[in-house]
Structure 1
């Protein structure tokens, strides 16, 4: 125990990591007061001012680029300024990571959605997904809701936990919160919404770049263990089929590992988007959603342990 305490006190990055995880579970930030929610509302207000549907596509892409750099650049400058003023860097880094990570939302969604799905309560399932997806859920069948729920859980854990932890390891709390803000902008200004068809392209492209390494590494971690050969083979065959390279690997790896059928057509703004069918052949049922939750939880802890080990190693080398 003494050696563990000594390790944490001498390794500020490791202390901030575990401190943020503990804070996230013991003292979660209420959703209406979360900085990400305020950030999304600000993004919508800015888009209303600078995104003009009558302008040509190139002008709207330029406006989206400038809006992204204005918002993100301002926050980045402020964070660097604050980092020079704080007395305790560990607390500062821990606070930023605490605000960036969001494990509880996905865990809560998994529990509530699985309960409603098990009872075949389609209305409740649609209500639960409404705040987490941009696609239309009103006319989804029970099968469609199962697929949408599975994909939402996977991407929620991948981006709000794995992506955040990856960028924390790369650049500390500032990198973690900036990644989360970038992902939030990509969702708020998603090109799948007609009004952001061109305006949101810069945001989604930046998010794709930030996503590709952490989500692909996590996908490889998912393939390990039972059905590893099948999952890896599926990854090699279908990994590049999805429109988004990072999320695509994550969905394909899980789909083949659990033999689940994912992907397929989806409605966005009443427009049918053809998406590739990926994964196995079994339609997600309540049991499979529980398996996804169990798989994600075990792999998340594996990732945290590996990252902690790397933080210890590099601290020792330093």
Structure 2
């Protein structure tokens, strides 16, 4: 029951306040720890040529050390807080749950893009969307900017909201920290380039493992949310079944496919990264042209999915 309470309070705080930018975020601390370990372990592993196995092992050691620290540090702090005051420990857990969710922040950043688009300020819309996507944005059209924003909200519905919430509903904020550590390592190391192909392989694969079940739960609950919100739930289900594997990651296209189907638009397709064109499959069918208001609709889907996730796991915890 305590876990349900801290998660619910964390969700509500996130909806109201968003990311507390005035405070050093724990994920940034995890990121600093990853960077520190990478520098040390690369010295032992050596350069890329001829040291692929060493780099793979070094990346695995880094993953283990980051996970251990991400669990042990908050556990230690929580233990001390419990000794001081159970009430203080409860407040701390609520605050951590709040910090580990990103629904308000994701919605806030996507709304910046929406506002610039409806003001017909394409250059500022491109700038706003560049803050939340990794692709080149300087030549994007209105349609391109809108698609980029919707795709980001759809994909990060799982990574930034539903997956951490599921882990916290299972094991409290400690397990939430472990998931965020796995996700952060993938964000920092999980690239298929010369520098990280071997060193970051464990981080990339373990993120796929950690997100596999939550991504599919997210997709199914988003389909239900689309029905409850008056969107095209039937098409969401069809597109999810058809297009859920149209991504290099086994998890990334899950919620993106549902969102495309629910909104009756086509997402993904070719994109430019660092001046180079990358050919990608499209997701969804262009039943209608995408429009700026689809950014707001994708946010509604995200919040609806989050609420359904909490209700589902609350029911499981209470009755089983």
TM-score class normalised by the smaller sequence: 0.7 to 0.9
Residue number in structure 1 paired with 2:166: 166
**How much is the aligned-residue C-alpha RMSD, in angstroms?**
2.5
Tell me if the contact between 1:194 and 1:269 (Cα under 8 Å) persists in the aligned partners. Answer: no
Residue number in structure 2 paired with 1:37: 28
Count the aligned residue pairs: 304
Q: CA deviation at 1:186?
A: 1.1
Deviations 1:184-209 (A, max 9, x none): 22112230565333322221211111
TM-score normalized by structure 2? 0.84
Which one of 289, 292, 298 corresponds to residue 298 of structure 2?
Answer: 292
Deviations 1:2-45 (A, max 9, x none): xxxxxxxxx31222122222333348421662122233244334
What SS does the aligned partner of 2:296 have?
Answer: helix
Q: Bigger shift: 226-235 or 252-261?
A: 226-235
- In 2 relative to 1, CA 188–128 (structure 1 residues): closer, same or farther, beyond 3 Å? farther
Give 5+ residue unaligned stretches, structure 1: 1-10
Q: CA deviation at 1:95?
A: 3.3
Residue number in structure 1 paired with 2:65: 70
Residue number in structure 2 paired with 1:272: 277
Deviations 1:112-150 (A, max 9, x none): 111112334333233323343333333433332222111
Tell me if the contact between 1:99 and 1:177 (Cα under 8 Å) persists in the aligned partners. Answer: no
- In 2 relative to 1, CA 255–31 (structure 1 residues): closer, same or farther, beyond 3 Å? farther
Q: Quick one: distance in 1 between partners of 2:22 and 2:290?
A: 29
TM-score normalized by structure 1? 0.84
Residue number in structure 1 paired with 2:197: 197
Tell me if the contact between 2:110 and 2:129 (Cα under 8 Å) persists in the aligned partners. Answer: no
Residue number in structure 2 paired with 1:154: 154
Give 5+ residue unaligned stretches, structure 2: none
